[in-house]
Amino acid sequence: MLKIKNVDTYYGNIQALKNISMDVREGEIITLIGANGAGKSTTLMTLCGVVPAAKGTIEFQGQDITGMPADQIAALGISQVPEGRRIFPYLTVMENLDMGTFLRKDKKSQIKKDLENVFELFPILADRKNQQGGTLSGGEQQMLAISRAIMTKPKLLLLDEPSLGLAPIITKRIFNIIKKINQEYKTTIFLVEQNANLALKVADRGYVMETGTITMTDSGDKLLANEAVKKAYLGM
Ligand code: ATP
C-alpha cells in the first residue's frame, strides 16, 4: 500500500532522515518505534507531504506521491492524527467531527453511519458532543482526534504518539480501539510510538529507528522478544 524508498529529509542543514526505506501492506498495523528525536514524527510528516523529502520516493497504492502537496495526499486517503492531538479547542466535539468530513464526496447517509460508528467506539464523545473540544480531558481529546481522522474515512491512518501524556489505563483503552479500527473498519494503520511495549503488542510488524536510520525490522512478536530491543526500548 505504501512504499518509502531511500528517503532523506532535512531541516535546514540538519539531516533528520537518512536513507530510510519502509513498506506498509494493506490491512496491517505497523509501528515505528525509537527514542526521543530519532525521526519518527519526521517520517510521518514526510510521507504526508508536510515536510519535503530531499531524496528518494514515496508511493501510495502504486502512485508516486513524492513532493505532492499535503492536501492532495490527504484526499488520496491518508489521514494523520498528529502528536499533541491538535483538535480545534473552541469548536464543539460535533463541529470537530464535521471538519473530518470536509473532503468527503460520498452520501450524507454514509457519513451519518460513520458518525454512529464513532460514537459506538467512543460513547463519551456522544455524551459530550456539544461541549467545546478544549474542555475535554487529555484522553478524550485523543479520542476526538482519532475520531476526526476516522471521519475522513482514511485508507491509511497515521497515528503519532497516541499515548503521549495519557494515564496507562486510558492508553490501554486507546490501543484496544486502534486494534478494533484496524480489524472492524479494515483501516491500515501506521503507528508511531515511544511506548514500544504496547505498540509492538498491537502491531503486525515494527521498524526501529535510531538517529534518522532504520536499524531493525521484524514482526511485532519477534521485536518484543529481541534482546537489543528489550534493553533499549522495553526497560528490561
Ligand atoms: P519525539 O518522540 O521527541 O517527537 P521523533 O522521533 O518524532 O521524536 P523528530 O521530531 O522527527 O523525532 O525529530 C528528528 C530530528 O529532527 C531531531 O533531531 C529534531 O531535533 C530535529 N527536528 C525536528 N523538527 C525540527 C525542526 N522543525 N527544525 C529543526 N530540526 C528539527
Per-residue confidence in pLDDT tens, the chain, 236 aa: 999 999 999 999 999 999 999 999 999 999 999 998 999 999 999 999 999 999 999 999 999 999 999 999 999 999 998 877 788 999 999 999 998 887 778 888 889 999 999 999 899 999 999 999 999 998 899 899 999 999 988 999 999 999 888 888 989 988 998 999 999 888 999 999 989 999 999 999 999 999 999 999 999 999 999 999 999 888 76
Among 9, 13, 14, name the best residue to mutate to test ligand 1's pocket (greatest count of ligand atoms within 8 A of Cβ): 14
How many angstroms does the Cα of residue 20 sit away from the middle of ligand 1?
15
| Closest atom, ligand 1, to C-alpha of 34 | 6
Is the CB–ligand 1 distance for residue 138 below 6 Å? Answer: no
Contact 16, 211 (CB under 8 A): no
Name the packing angle between helices 138-151 and 108-121 (round to 10°).
150
Quote the distance between the C-alpha of residue 209 and its chain's center.
16
159, three cell numbers: 497515528
Q: Which residues have C-beta within 8 Å of that of residue 21, sequence separation ≥ 6? A: 4, 5, 6, 7, 56, 214
Q: What integer pLDDT is reported at residue 84 of this predicted model?
A: 75
Residue nearest to ligand 1 atom 28, measured at CA: 11
Q: What integer pLDDT is reported at residue 126 of this predicted model?
A: 95
134, three cell numbers: 478544549
Is the CB–ligand 1 distance for residue 45 below 6 Å? Answer: no
How many angstroms does the Cα of residue 16 sit away from the middle of ligand 1?
7
Among 40, 47, 190, 192, name the best residue to mutate to test ligand 1's pocket (greatest count of ligand atoms within 8 A of Cβ): 40
Measuring CA to CA, which residue among 154, 188, 153 is closest to residue 1?
Answer: 188
Contact 91, 146 (CB under 8 A): no
Contact 136, 128 (CB under 8 A): yes
Q: What integer pLDDT is reported at residue 234 of this predicted model?
A: 84
Is the CB–ligand 1 distance for residue 36 below 6 Å? Answer: yes
The pTM assigned to this predicted structure is: 0.92
Contact 198, 207 (CB under 8 A): no
Q: What integer pLDDT is reported at residue 199 of this predicted model?
A: 94
Q: What integer pLDDT is reported at residue 184 of this predicted model?
A: 87
Residue recorded with cell 504518539 = 161
Contact 24, 158 (CB under 8 A): no
49, three cell numbers: 507531504
- The CA-CA-CA angle for residues 69, 74, 76, to 5°, reads 100
